[in-house]
């Protein structure tokens, strides 16, 4: 059974097919968050701290840490900022971390200060990236996210994406990196732009599980990009992709609807023994609709509404 071990200084987590779904909190990422980017540039980490604590409280298994605040001289600016962010988050929480950067120097700097066994996010199938990142993965003995694109870009053909993933696994083996330390991101396409995106990723994840026997992850909200009420799509996608074999996702754990879907999938998948986590989380849960109904007057609205409905049926019968 494939098991990818990640750890902080004091806590070990296993990503695997027989394990609860691994929720990697996405919030500590300034991409698309101008306010957070500005704060981090100024040395203000209050939002970083708040997001770290909120995500762990909401149920995140791990936290993804990204410090890509600018495209200007990232090889110089990103490494020290990523190091500072990692150090701050490690002081606040004991969950394992994911070092998220496209800058090799930043990844290496992060690995030097990260405690335990972090996940590196990420390496692609591009030769330049493989040659730069895989030696670091071997040196620090850590797992890595393998993104299924290469020099040709992101293919819409799932067979091509599978081939890229296989190439990365094979190249990693050349460096002495075992396949259980490769967590493949098959690249989830937006369902609003490609109607077969869901079917594609389900099929691809099954192949990655059955043929390459690797763990998988994704940027979960990609599936709903461009659509209204995105969290409804995300929540529907979660149990389906878990059922296909996905073992982790980079997502926002502060969305209750999506975390309910994760916990329900764990129950139904048999990775929440005796429904213990579900019961501990929801035993005192009061659904909004039930709360509203219990707050309504005993006589007024509810019984009056019922009378109107009965009257309507009687009136229709009389008219007939």
What pLDDT, in 10s, does the model give residues 139-184? 999 999 999 999 999 999 999 999 999 999 999 999 999 999 999 9
Distance CA 23, CA 25 (A): 6
Q: Is the pLDDT of residue 129 over 50?
A: yes
Q: Give which of 81, 83, 101, 197 is closest to 205, Cα–Cα.
A: 197
Q: Is the pLDDT of residue 311 over 60?
A: no
Pairing relationship of beta strands 62-66 and 22-25 according to DSSP bridges: parallel
Q: pTM of this prediction?
A: 0.90
Is the CB of residue 284 less than 8 Å from the CB of residue 290?
Answer: no
Q: What is the reported pLDDT for 13?
A: 98
């Amino acid at each position: 059974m494939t098991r990818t071990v990640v750890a902080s200084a004091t806590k070990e987590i296993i990503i695997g097919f027989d394990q609860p779904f691994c929720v990697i909190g996405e919030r500590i990422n300034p991409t698309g968050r101008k306010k957070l980017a500005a704060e981090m540039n100024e040395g203000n980490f209050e939002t970083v701290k708040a997001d770290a604590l909120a995500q762990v409280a909401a149920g995140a298994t791990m936290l993804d840490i990204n410090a890509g605040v600018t495209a200007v001289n990232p090889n110089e600016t990103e490494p020290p900022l990523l190091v500072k962010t990692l150090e701050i988050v490690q002081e606040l929480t004991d969950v394992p971390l994911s070092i998220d950067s496209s800058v090799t120097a930043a990844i290496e700097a992060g690995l030097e200060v990260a405690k335990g066994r972090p996940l590196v996010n990420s390496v692609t199938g591009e030769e330049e990236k493989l040659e730069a990142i895989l030696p670091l993965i071997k040196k620090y003995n850590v797992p890595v996210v393998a993104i299924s694109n290469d020099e040709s870009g992101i293919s819409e053909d799932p067979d091509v994406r599978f081939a890229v993933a296989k190439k990365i696994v094979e190249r990693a083996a050349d460096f002495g990196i075992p396949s259980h330390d490769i967590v493949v991101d098959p690249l989830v396409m937006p369902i609003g732009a490609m109607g077969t995106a869901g079917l594609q990723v389900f099929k691809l994840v099954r192949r990655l599980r059955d043929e390459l026997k690797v763990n998988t992850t994704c940027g979960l909200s990609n599936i709903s990009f461009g659509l209204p009420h995105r969290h409804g799509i995300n929540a529907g996608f979660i149990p389906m992709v878990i059922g296909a074999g996905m073992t982790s996702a980079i997502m926002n754990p502060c969305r209750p609807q999506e975390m309910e879907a994760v916990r329900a999938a764990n129950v139904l998948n048999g990775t929440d023994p005796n429904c213990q986590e579900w019961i501990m989380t929801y035993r005192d849960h009061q659904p909004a609709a039930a709360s509203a109904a219990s707050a309504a007057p005993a006589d007024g609205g509810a019984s009056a509404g019922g009378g109107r409905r009965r009257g309507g049926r009687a009136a229709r019968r009389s008219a007939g």
